[in-house]
Chains A and B, each alone.
Chain A
């Protein structure tokens, strides 16, 4: 009886020490898989917004992901609905569609069809209009807008400016 309780105590004491060790090593393992600081630091891209031509889709790169930039034509601005307009990014009077060029379904790059003015995702057949809104399932939401900050003619991707914050808060993008 006496012995048993002593063994029980030793077992519990070992369990406590081992438990701390296991938790500690799990934390270390988790952190070892985090993106490296150098990867995080390379996460900013500056775009000069004065060089884009109207109606022409340009694909830039940010954090290894494609970023679509489309300077809207006067006709597009004219006909856009309220929800399409909310996604506009206005820099020096020009209206832009800027979005991460990965389908919100499972991440393929939708192709822009100039004539139809829409994006078609070949993976599972999803479609987006020229403002980035979904027109055909399965994508669950409009193309995501990357965090951005506007400085004069420049747009800095990866930093959060007031315009982006407003969009995020109103739920226009994630």
Chain B
């Protein structure tokens, strides 16, 4: 039997039962972080923060929101926005945080791609990160249904129709997802459940996995240096804090993180108070009507790039291209055949690949927002083809990359 002694204090009492000191070391004071990383490594912490904001504002929205097709629209646009004291604040925070979450997620992803932080034992970090991206996408989509405005309804119609899988005509599957022939009450209530319970739970679980996946390989660094964490930690603990290449996660690195977070907070609340419009679509200020399509249906900005990959092709080809775009990032650790986990600037052809991909994503996003006419259609088509081509050539251009 374990040996318990009379505790010398609360900490000791807890320590005997929960080993809190050991846990604290593993996740904080002896979780070693390289010194040579920059502000881009603070994005993960900012994402933890934006998720916390979504959770808190969501809890307050939930107290007045009514998931019924008759009342949903008014409960958001009238009750929450006008009647509830500070209701607007929760709604603005929620809308801005969901939009900004995607902005930061994209920066976080592209930082990972730039520094090759998805190989040499970091594959699980990348995979859990992509699963987080997919789950967040589902959460954002389901949340977008809730105010039951015109964009909610028609985006719900168009996106669920994707599950008929084009030429396979799986209309039964679409009706099953909706619980009706068109988006209606059953659809709204089940998406409400997904949005407030199942998907947030999945997100929290995946975040746990993401952090666990980081613990053994540790974070990468901006010089792509292979650090012997055990040796450097020993140096640090023996007193050579300056000479060691690493520092403690808490409170050393955390203080850097908090600095970046502080700057981010100013930006975030500037948006919440003065510039929230971009996150609340004016078309969605009209109540859902199954007999009128809005002139121009487009998703939120963060889905535009993949929407643009769907749009220029015929149904079946479009769906295949769209499916490709959804999953291809998951396979990055294996499509990149080089073992160099260093900044793209030192990787020759990969450097060009990286910047072309980034620019292509921005072009796709811009074209996705414009009406599908004339020159825009053509640019969109070219950008979609470039996207696919980039992923196909990736293994070939990295295969013979020189070791750095």
Contact = CB atoms under 8 A, between A and B. Distances in A.
A64 to B, nearest CB: 4
Contacts of A26: none
Interface in B249-283: none
Contacts of B331: none
Given A106-B161, A139-B315, A43 B291 contact: no
Given A138-B318, A140-B166, A65 B181 contact: yes
Contacts of B176: 30, 33-35
Interface stretch (B77-85, B140-148, B182-190): B182-190
A146 to B, nearest CB: 11
Contacts of A108: 154, 157-158, 293, 297
B292 to A, nearest CB: 7
Contacts of A21: none
A63 B181 contact: yes
Interface in B288-307: 290-293, 295-297
Contacts of A66: 290-291
Contact of A35 (B180, B291, B313): B180
Interface in A135-152: 137-140
B370 to A, nearest CB: 12
B167 interface: yes
A123 B310 CA distance: 12
Contacts of B292: 109
B179 A34 contact: yes
A107 B161 contact: yes
A77 to B, nearest CB: 28
Contacts of A73: none
Interface string B174-215: 011111111010100010000000000000000000000000
Contact of A174 (B169, B372, B377): B169
Contacts of A107: 157-158, 161
Contacts of A30: 176
Contacts of B157: 102, 106-108
B162 A106 contact: yes
Nearest to A60: B291
Nearest to B167: A140
A6 to B, nearest CB: 29
Interface in A51-75: 59, 61, 63-66
A36 B314 CA distance: 34
Between B180, B371, B377, the greatest number of chain A beta carbons within 10 A of the residue's beta carbon is seen for B180
Interface string A144-174: 0000000000000000000000000000001
Contacts of B315: 104-106, 138-140
Contacts of B186: 35-36, 39
Contacts of A109: 291-293
Contacts, number: 85
A64 B291 CA distance: 8
A138 B296 contact: no
Given A64-B184, A109-B293, A138 B313 contact: yes
Contacts of A64: 180-182, 184, 290
Nearest to A59: B291
Contacts of B162: 106
Contacts of A106: 157-158, 161-162, 315
Given A34-B176, A66-B290, A125 B372 contact: yes
Contacts of B190: 33
Interface in B127-185: 154, 157-158, 161-162, 166-167, 169, 171, 175-182, 184
Interface string A102-135: 1011111101000000000011110000000000
A124 B177 CA distance: 24
A151 B295 CA distance: 37
Most B CB atoms within 10 A — which of A35, A36, A104?
A35
A59 B167 CA distance: 27
Contacts of A111: 293
B377 to A, nearest CB: 7
A148 to B, nearest CB: 16
Contacts of B15: none
B228 interface: no
B118 to A, nearest CB: 33
B316 interface: yes
B230 interface: no
17 contacts: A33-B176, A35-B181, A39-B181, A39-B186, A61-B291, A64-B182, A102-B157, A105-B315, A106-B315, A107-B161, A108-B297, A122-B293, A124-B311, A125-B372, A138-B315, A140-B166, A140-B316
Closest 7 CB pairs of A and B: A64-B182, A63-B181, A109-B293, A140-B315, A107-B161, A106-B158, A108-B293
Interface of A: 30, 33-36, 39, 43, 59, 61, 63-66, 102, 104-109, 111, 122-125, 137-140, 174
Interface of B: 154, 157-158, 161-162, 166-167, 169, 171, 175-182, 184, 186, 190, 290-293, 295-297, 311, 313-316, 318, 371-373, 377
